[in-house]
Amino acid sequence: MTATHEGAMRSSVGNPAAEKRGMNLTLRIWRQQGPTTKGKMVTYKITDISPDMSFLEMLDVLNEQLIMQGDDPVAFDHDCREGICGMCGVMINGQAHGPQQTTTCQLHMRSFADGDTIDIEPWRATAFPIIKDLAVDRRAFDRIIQAGGYISVPTGTAPEAHATPVPKADSDAAFDAATCIGCGACVAACPNASSMLFTAAKVTHLGLLPQGQPERNDRVVNMVAQQDREGFGGCTNIGECSASCPKGISMETISRLNHDLLGALRAGARPKS
């Protein structure tokens, strides 16, 4: 034990508030055995949760408890737990990723109060079918990216740094769009289950750069056609997508997509069937 830990323990002796930091919570979690079975909310009690735990660590504690009891643990997706891979994501009290504008793995239990009841559900969208419990199939996003195809860039040694100048405003906007992690919160938050913010982010980060120009028109018409084929809804500019996006992708990217799409259609580009 370090001197700091010893000091912290000594200072908590006789101080009930410092000794008892754990939270007691009621969790109501969507349980569904498989894609075709009927699901339902199941209530669990969980005790002594540290406010410093992440939301996923809290679910880990619950799962350990369930396993010890011989019950089926709750299935949920995660990978990096650092807010960068986009794998995690659940509806928490009806909000995509919960009460903070961040990923579920970066949400901490201090965002809740002792005694709270927390509803936890999977993303709800036809294009994201439930695999089990809180895990959904988001491969529709992969197919939208795939529909965008390749970009033509010369291979070989790295080009000289200033060979292709890019205006600062364009490079900043392209970088901002490229921060989309494909989590799907925008779809889950949208009353239309639209994927426009995601598709717009992918279209924008290439459409603003010189390297993205040769296939720009084909890319936008094919990605938009694929998102329609996947069953995502249309965008009606509600803005819940951007408000729930952990990376703060702006509605402006949707305007860029619409601008690009119109230009591409006027230029005669048509989606591949």
Q: Which is nearer to ligand SF4, 148 or 246 (CB)?
A: 246
Contact residue for ligand SF4 among 190, 197, 221, 254 (CB under 6 A): 197
Q: Which long-range contacts (CB under 8 A, 24 or more apart) does 200-203 make?
A: 200/249, 200/253, 200/254, 200/256, 200/257, 201/177, 201/249, 201/253, 202/144, 202/145, 202/148, 202/177, 203/148, 203/253, 203/256, 203/257, 203/260
Number of residues that bind ligand FES (CB under 6 A): 12
Binds ligand SF4 by CB under 6 A, chosen from 92, 135, 245, 261:
245
In the list ligand SF4, ligand FES, none, the entry touching 188 (Cβ below 5 to 8 angstroms by class) is none
Asked if 269 interacts with ligand SF4 (CB under 6 A), we say: no
Binding part of the chain for ligand FES, among 81-89, 118-126, 170-178, 220-228 by CB under 6 A, reads: 81-89
Q: Is 185 in the site for ligand SF4 (CB under 6 A)?
A: yes
Which of these, 42, 16, 38, lies nearest to 29 by C-alpha position? 42
Binding partner at 84 among ligand FES, ligand SF4, none, C-beta below 5 to 8 Å by kind? ligand FES
Question: Which residues in this chain contact ligand SF4 in the complex, by CB under 6 A?
Answer: 180-186, 197-198, 201, 245-247, 249
Question: Which residues in this chain contact ligand FES in the complex, by CB under 6 A?
Answer: 78-81, 83-88, 103, 105
